[in-house]
Structure 1
Amino acid sequence: MTDPVARRNTPTPGSDLLGSDPASDALRPLAERMRPQTLDEMVGQRRLLAPGSALRRAVEAGRVHSMILWGPPGCGKTTLALLLAKYADAEFRAISAVLSGLPDVRVVLAEAAERFANGRRTVLFVDEVHRFNKAQQDAFLPHIERGTILFVGATTENPSFELNSALLSRCRVHVMEAVSADDIAEALRRALADEERGLGGQGLDVSGEALLQIAGAADGDVRRGLTLLEIAAELALGESGTVTEATLTQVLADRTRRFDKGGEQFYDQISALHKSVRSSNPDAALYWLARMLDGGCDPVYLARRLTRMATEDIGLADPRAQTMAIEAWDTYERLGSPEGELALAQLAIYLATTAKSNAAYVAYKAARRDVVEHGTQEVPLHLRNAPTKLMKQLGYAKGYQYDHEAEGGIALDQTGFPDAMGERTYYRPVNRGLEIKLGEKLARLREAREKARGGA
């Protein structure tokens, strides 16, 4: 009888990505040839796959469950799915939500059902699963419940927003992280030393510093790091065999950082920018602004969000902030990129540095709540306009006190709210910026109004 552990460590049918085929290895990219064949070969993901962790124990024991792997590109989602099939002695099948439709899904599920009837499980890997619509996602549910398939969905987007609750309830979500530069450098060193699958034995000379530069340029993506190394190796082997600074300049010239417009990373970064401004940290605000511009974010979108920050988080503590925001927005639209981006940078620095107050924001929300709670209240007669004789006869504007003619310029005993509501206090200035003076004035007025109404 075959040892189950040994059997789990044998490449399964359909998982040739884990096998070694000398005839085709030379045609495969380095990143594919160096794909880890055991859990120990995976770099990064220490939290998820550390020795003794729940997931690792389950995988090594062959007790694989249906799951969603959520993480950035190149963090090892596909590799982990392949290893799940290998350790579970299951057939591996993969489909892409970008390239496959419901008919393709049905074919794969029918094959899995037939395989299941013959006593063999199937690990079905669905890449970019968030791109499937509700009907396509629902097609997997009965097969997951019956155990026909071990479902492994991979996504770069937040599953809470992109996947059906029914699918999420049947799968565990495992969060995978971007791989650190040090871990990518380790993967690159393995590729340089491996003579069977990697670049070992070719006489390639790559310094440790060059490896770190490539690893940093990979930006958390192991696959990208190995691809950059392969390009550098091809250039070097065509010349001196050494990856020089000039070689790296060619290879890394057009590198870009990870940025997903409209995706999870996009909203995480705009959140970081907003919160850095709110925390009065101009350096962090400038960093996130530069990150988003570097990633291709529309500067007009950033101008709009910065203007929102000026009204929501600075408010009346510094009314100039809103004016500056509009002017910076206008400056960018007149100059365009890259010159106009400096106006946005200046604005971000100013917003982060100046006094903060969300008192107006809080007051407006409180007023909105009262509108909803109290419904359509009648405007008090003394506040109504009376342009006609009939309106005057009905009492419109009766008793209204013209503030300019009142002592001190304010009719203190005159209410501005519907009778059924009574007076309300929404706006409570903070003790920062201009609102210090506004708060002092309002405190005096509110006290005088209360005395005047009490006297009446």
Structure 2
Amino acid sequence: MPDLFADIPVPPLAEALRPKVLDEVIGQSHLLGEGKPLRLAFQSGQAHSMILWGPPGVGKTTLARLSAQAFAGEFIALSAVFAGVKDIRAAMEQAEHYQSLGRRTILFVDEIHRFNKAQQDALLPYVESGRVTLIGATTENPSFEVNAALLSRAQVYVLQSLTDAELRQLLTRARDQVLSHLQFDEAAIDTLIGYADGDARRCLNLLEQCHVAAGAAGVTRLDAGFMENALTLNSRRFDRGGDGFYDQISALHKSVRGSNPDAALYWLTRMLDGGADPHYLSRRLVRMAWEDIGLADPRALQIANEAAMAYERLGSPEGELALAQAVIYLAIAAKSNAGYTAYKAARAFVKQDKSREVPRHLRNAPTRLMKDLGHGQAYRYPHDEPHGYAAGETYLPDGMAEPHWYRPAPRGLEIKIAEKVARLKQLDEEARRRRPAGDSDPLDGEPFSHE
């Protein structure tokens, strides 16, 4: 007779080693250490709804399962990827049955950010009434992905990627308990930890992959070379649409603004390595050139644009070198946000100001009627004036004071620009002093002064 049980599937290593008690959990010491919030909550036995927010493989599901044990409750798990309102209602009926028996229900919703508003709203009355204690797990920022009403009824706990030391501790446990017949060089362990990238599940899956490869090769001692050949090199963890993505682009931008070329190059490389779209990165470089460098070094914009065009022509990986060199240049260039600040101030003013008329001397006069109405009359052509500048002329609407939005920074080319602006203002003041008495001056503001 054949053995009907010979092909019972063996659970993956990550599942087999899932902690059974809180003290077996590796990592998250900021939440699980002595006197820390989650440990105190588990020790008290007082259940409360919570959202566990963190990257993959840091223990969100494990903590949810352990909560049922700590809070002495029944555990119902839903995956927001597959579940709908019908599944939620079925879970609530089951929870109502447990409640009638005097038992508490822990409802775990994995990937809760995948629930739409209606599905999240369906949970509200049951969480509010206490029929279930909700534990949601998400890799996305709950502030954006979880309804405010639901979020207000749950405590958010932020979980962190495992450190190299914690991953090493995890590997030691796995080898001691399951794979004691294998020996690893230190370099092999370092390689495995590097590939794991802070993800405990990935770390154990890679270890399992090494175990299979070692069995096929008939070896028991693994070095770095074996690991490089045996492991499937997955791209590093990179969230193309969530907080991880925007945190890294923020770090890149701030490194450029902070004039640190090495840091800027690091974050650019991290994003390229993680799969960020180089076209998006090239657009961001152009934005940095305008926002943080501006007229202090106009070459920065030229270099950023040329790098974007070079990438369009060459593609990856050759075109990435152009982006890298642009990042280095932007980081070391003189910095000024004077143009950016001036534009924002002008935009804010126009948004709240009335619609002012164009002064007659500045109006277009393509027809005889417009000329008869005075359009363009008394306009002074700067090229016919001394210094190529119509000193004392005004170009703002009548009655509008000089706003002084653009104030050149004392860096790079803007030092020269500031000198030019100051000289032109001096010419304006001299022209106004020479103006005959009785002539009106439509400018009400103070003369420009460079700070």
**TM-score computed with the length of structure 2 as normaliser:** 0.92
Return the match for 1:407 from 386, 393, 397.
Answer: 386
Counterpart code for 2:392: D
Return the match for 1:217 from 190, 195, 214.
Answer: 195
Aligned equivalent of 1:7: none
Aligned equivalent of 1:193: 176
Q: Does 1:85 align with 2:68?
A: yes
What is the distance in 2 between the residues matched to 1:92 and 1:266?
33
Q: Does 1:179 align with 2:162?
A: yes
Task: Indicate how the Cα distance of structure 1 residues 244 and 351 shifts in structure 2: closer, same or farther if over 3 A, else same.
Answer: same
Return the match for 2:237 from 250, 258, 265.
Answer: 258
Indicate if the aligned counterparts of 1:357 and 1:430 stay in contact, CA closer than 8 A: yes
Task: Indicate how the Cα distance of structure 1 residues 156 and 250 shifts in structure 2: closer, same or farther if over 3 A, else same.
Answer: same
> How far off its partner does 1:437 sit?
0.2
Aligned equivalent of 1:33: 16
| Deviation string, structure 1 residues 242-279 (Cα, Å, up to 9, x no partner) | 22334312233513211011121111111111111111
| Deviation string, structure 1 residues 291-321 (Cα, Å, up to 9, x no partner) | 1111111111111111111111111011111
What is the distance in 1 between the residues matched to 2:169 and 2:302?
51
> How far off its partner does 1:287 sit?
0.8
What is the distance in 1 between the residues matched to 2:341 and 2:7?
65
Return the match for 2:27 from 13, 36, 44.
Answer: 44
Counterpart code for 2:266: Y
What is the distance in 2 between the residues matched to 1:43 and 1:447?
70
Aligned equivalent of 2:86: 103
> How far off its partner does 1:31 sit?
0.5
The 5 Å alignment of 1:17-416 reads 27-194=10-177, 198-200=178-180, 203-238=181-216, 239-416=218-395
> Mean Cα displacement is larger for which, 432-441 or 403-412?
403-412
What is the distance in 2 between the residues matched to 1:53 and 1:24?
44
| Deviation string, structure 1 residues 306-347 (Cα, Å, up to 9, x no partner) | 111111111101111111111111111111111111111111
Counterpart code for 1:93: I
Aligned equivalent of 1:9: none
Task: Indicate how the Cα distance of structure 1 residues 43 and 24 shifts in structure 2: closer, same or farther if over 3 A, else same.
Answer: farther
| Deviation string, structure 1 residues 425-449 (Cα, Å, up to 9, x no partner) | 1111101111110011101212332
Indicate if the aligned counterparts of 1:182 and 1:215 stay in contact, CA closer than 8 A: no
> How far off its partner does 1:451 sit?
4.5
| Deviation string, structure 1 residues 7-62 (Cα, Å, up to 9, x no partner) | xxxxxxxxxxxxxxx99996100100100111111111011111111321111221
Indicate if the aligned counterparts of 2:13 and 2:204 stay in contact, CA closer than 8 A: yes
Question: Per the alignment, in what secondary structure is the counterpart of residue 391 of structure 1?
Answer: helix
Indicate if the aligned counterparts of 2:210 and 2:231 stay in contact, CA closer than 8 A: no
Task: Indicate how the Cα distance of structure 1 residues 24 and 270 shifts in structure 2: closer, same or farther if over 3 A, else same.
Answer: farther
What is the distance in 2 between the residues matched to 1:53 and 1:448?
68
**TM-score computed with the length of structure 1 as normaliser:** 0.91
* Aligned CA-pair RMSD: 1.8
Indicate if the aligned counterparts of 1:404 and 1:410 stay in contact, CA closer than 8 A: yes
Indicate if the aligned counterparts of 2:74 and 2:104 stay in contact, CA closer than 8 A: yes
Indicate if the aligned counterparts of 2:187 and 2:223 stay in contact, CA closer than 8 A: no
> How far off its partner does 1:454 sit?
5.5
What is the distance in 1 between the residues matched to 2:233 and 2:24?
30
| Deviation string, structure 1 residues 71-93 (Cα, Å, up to 9, x no partner) | 00001000010111111111111
> Mean Cα displacement is larger for which, 137-146 or 24-33?
24-33
What is the distance in 1 between the residues matched to 2:292 and 2:367?
44
What is the distance in 1 between the residues matched to 2:277 and 2:195?
23
Counterpart code for 2:23: D
Number of aligned residues: 430
Percent of residue pairs identical? 56
What is the distance in 2 between the residues matched to 1:125 and 1:140?
12
Gaps of 5+ in 1: 1-21
What is the distance in 2 between the residues matched to 1:297 and 1:55?
35
Task: Indicate how the Cα distance of structure 1 residues 449 and 150 shifts in structure 2: closer, same or farther if over 3 A, else same.
Answer: same
> How far off its partner does 1:150 sit?
0.8
Indicate if the aligned counterparts of 1:122 and 1:148 stay in contact, CA closer than 8 A: yes
